[in-house]
Amino acid sequence: MRDDIHERALELIDKRQVEGLTAEEHNELEAHLESCVQCRKQALATERALRALRSAAPRFDVTLVLTTQMRARIRARELIENAARMRALWISCAFSWVIGVVSAPLLWRGFEWMGQRLAMPKAVWITGFALSWVAPAVVAAAVIAWRQARGSSVTEPR
């Protein structure tokens, strides 16, 4: 039971430095520290160590600081440019969908007319209509995949 009291005191010492104590916990810890020399020494050692850590100012190489600042600025600029590109992409996609929805009835009539003129089965010209919607996305995906593959082969050392 005696070890539990000391463990509790050590927990409260740590908690006081990190989170802070409630009034009840503070009173409990102070009462224990008045009667226990070992825990009082531990509390003083903890306070001294934290004070020493807080007072030690790290020194950094000036070139390291300047390089880090430069890279942070470059990355911030890249993020801003990427956001602008993404905004343009979303606008283009929205515009494309609006045009697609507006032109769909005309495209449907065109495929239907061509199917009747060429005596195609209905399934064939409907499939052609569906592919006309899918083809641009497939081409765009292929171009993106090709550019990424080309870009990764250029950046990889051989």
DSSP code of 118?
T
Q: Indicate if the alpha-carbon torsion angle 33, 37, 41, 44 is positive or negative.
A: positive
Question: Pick from 45, 3, 9, 47: which is nearest to 25 by CA?
Answer: 9
Q: How crowded is the C-beta side of 152, counted as CA atoms within 13 Å?
A: 5
According to the model, what pLDDT value does residue 158 have? Answer: 44
According to the model, what pLDDT value does residue 140 have? Answer: 86
Domain residue spans in the chain? 2-55, 62-155
pLDDT tens-place string over residues 73-101: 999 999 999 898 889 888 988 998 899 88
Other CB atoms within a 10 A radius of the CB of residue 29 amount to: 21
**Residue, of 150 and 81, whose pLDDT is higher:** 81
The whole-angstrom separation of Cα 69 and Cα 62 is: 11
Q: What is the pTM of this model?
A: 0.40
DSSP readout, 21-83? --HHHHHHHHHHHHH-HHHHHHHHHHHHHHHHHHH------HHHHHHHHHHHHHHHHHHHHHH
pLDDT surpasses 90 at 151: no
Please compute the mean of the pLDDT values over residues 21-35 and round it to a whole number: 90
